[in-house]
Amino acid sequence: MMGSPMVARALADYDGASPYDHLVRLHDVTWADYERLLEIRGDHSAPRYTYLQGELEIMSPSKTHESIKSTIGRLVEAWCLDKGIEFSAVGSWTLKDQALKLGVEPDECYLFGEVSEPSAPHLAIEVAWTRGALDKRRAYEKLGVGELWIWSRGRIQIYELCDGTYVPLEQSQALPGIDLRLIERCIELPTTSRAILEFRAALGG
């Protein structure tokens, strides 16, 4: 197996202070290697692993990355509460399929309504803060995630799964009526609390 010392050395230089995500890319990684790394990490949310058919990306997210993804999540939750939409926040749920040799962990993800034993979230959110990362969109598509939001450079792009393929949309189908431009503006505010307050005020709450 690709031993954990190799991964430890690859991450050793990261001190958590960089404004950018720390990315390590490994090649020719077996599924057993990937499963073993998940086992070693346990229930922690970082580092995050993306496995695409032998390619493994290990990401230690920066503070900015975590702040953006958390703010988007809190605003989604505020909107759902305002609209009376039942939801479950399932964080960085590890989505994987051995037959497809795919594994990915969203920044945030959600289920809507009461769902028993779901195979994938209804909505996954990804923050593309650092260039050079693997294209996770293909993994989400193959793993059957109904809707994917990708934040990049201040904008959120929506993709909806249609007949097994992602189609870019202007408006969310999972959360019809949610104002993504308002979310983008609120993300720019200096604190999460102010973002939530201004978002709620805009909703009339």
- Do 93 and 29 touch, CB atoms closer than 8 A? no
Question: Distance (Å, rounded) from C-alpha 161 to C-alpha 73?
Answer: 21
pLDDT band, very low/low/confident/very high, at 3 (cuts 50, 70, 90): very low
Question: Distance (Å, rounded) from C-alpha 38 to C-alpha 191?
Answer: 32
Instruction: Calculate mean pLDDT across residues 3-18.
Output: 48
pLDDT band, very low/low/confident/very high, at 13 (cuts 50, 70, 90): very low
Instruction: Calculate mean pLDDT across residues 181-191.
Output: 96
- Do 91 and 45 touch, CB atoms closer than 8 A? yes
Question: Distance (Å, rounded) from C-alpha 44 to C-alpha 177?
Answer: 34
Containing domain of residue 156, as a range? 4-203
| Number of domains observed in the structure of the chain | 1
Using alpha carbons only, how large is the chain's radius of gyration in Å? 17
pLDDT tens, residue by residue, 31-77:
999 999 999 988 777 788 999 999 999 988 888 899 999 999 999 99
| CATH code of the domain in which 195 resides | 3.90.1570.10
Given this model, what pLDDT does residue 111 score?
A: 97
Is pLDDT above 60 for 7? no
Spatial CA neighbour of 134 closest among 192, 57, 45, 60: 57
* pTM recorded for the entire structure: 0.87
